[in-house]
Amino acid sequence: MKKYLVTGCAGFIGTNFVYYMLKKHRDILLVNLDKLTYAGNPANLEGIGNDARHIFVKGDICDPELVSSLFGKYDFDYVINFAAESHVDRSISDPGVFVRTNVNGTFNLLSKAKDAWCDAEKNVWREGKKFLQVSTDEVYGALGKDGFFTETTPLDPHSPYSSSKASADLFVKAFHDTYGMPVNVTRCSNNYGPYQFPEKLIPLMINNARLHRPLPVYGDGMQVRDWLYVDDHCRAIDTVCSQGKPGEVYNVGGHNERTNLFIVKTVIDVMREKLGDGGISENLITHVADRPGHDRRYGIDPTKIGRELGWYPETSFEDGIVRTVDWYLDNTGWMESVTSGAYLRYYEENYGSRRKLTADKGFSE
């Protein structure tokens, strides 16, 4: 039986990864560690039921005693580190939290994995162990109109969020280069799909459109992102974990580059068709002041993971966006439960205080 420590399991990608792994693999044990901050929702995992292959632990990846105790109790084969503060806007308003979780937390996990897996006197690592850091294409910075990020693109993060993720990636690299720890880093483009917290673009637009609320779009909305359906990302992580060459970075992308404005308009079209609601229209789009340091374009080149490991995206954007809208419309109770209280206060602070862009790209108060 392969035993995994999966951190951040109650978040968006972590949740989908847990369901994917339990469906695909029979003889595994997933010990899932999550602090259950605003984006970690225990209700995400209710569909697992009493599956004995899944053990949930509420706790902080920055807690050295807790992490050590888990390694001692379960003797993990793999660590899959999803746990991270991940929203750029929040990192701008409170960068210290991102340093604590994304940098210090990753360092703590690396340290405890090293203690458990390496004979310090002989500097010999136990066979069959691996630490996989789930990162982001945002560590590369911004692209021009042409070209793509490759694994050798220099890191050039522009936000506190991407800087904290780049720092964590470098610690993972250092543990491999200095101590010989078996590691991989995956850097993925924008994910979308079920269970994503509605501060992110697609679920935010779905929820607001459903309620006929304004659809806030930063600046002119022409920022370009490469979109990947979350199930394809989960399959990539599983593939890299089992087949990736230790020490290597693998970029994961879908070759689905779209502007933010295109995404918003697509959500409008799909929802209007699904609901037959004429109130869901482009009239809801509200251009607001752009956020500081907003990267213009990301684009991932996934050639390496395809060539070396045989992974390719299987879900087209056209299919994935319909499946995503369907999930949120079928799970309005889930959406309502996570968009109350603190979320509403954050939403008003982030979007309500921004000046509205007028048609001539000027600002109105």
Q: List active site positions.
A: 137-138, 161
Count how many residues are written for the chain: 365
Is residue 39 classed as helix, strand or coil in its secondary structure?
Answer: coil
Residue type at 130? K
CA 79 vs CA 30, 35, 112, 157: distances in Å:
10, 16, 11, 25
- Phi and psi torsions of 57, nearest 5°: -125, 120
Give the other-Cβ count within 10 Å of 138's Cβ: 26
CA torsion angle for 190, 195, 197, 201 (degrees, to 10)?
A: 40
Residue 18 · residue 30 · CB < 8 Å: yes
- Phi and psi torsions of 325, nearest 5°: -60, -45
What is d(CA 72, CA 79) in angstroms, rounded to the nearest whole number?
14
**Nearest one of 86, 150, 103 to 298, comparing CA atoms:** 150
5 strand-pairing partners: 31, 79
Q: What is the 3-state secondary structure (H, E, C) of 148-173?
A: CECCCCCCCCCCHHHHHHHHHHHHHH
What is d(CA 44, CA 19) in angstroms, rounded to the nearest whole number?
10
**Nearest one of 318, 186, 196, 302 to 255, comparing CA atoms:** 302
Please return the burial class of 276, using the count of CB atoms within 10 Å of its CB with bins 0-12, 13-18 and 19+: exposed
DSSP string, 228-260: EEHHHHHHHHHHHHHHPPTT-EEEE--S-EEEH
What is d(CA 260, CA 137) in angstroms, rounded to the nearest whole number?
16
**Nearest one of 271, 192, 218 to 12, comparing CA atoms:** 192
- The alpha carbons of the chain give a radius of gyration, in whole angstroms, of 20
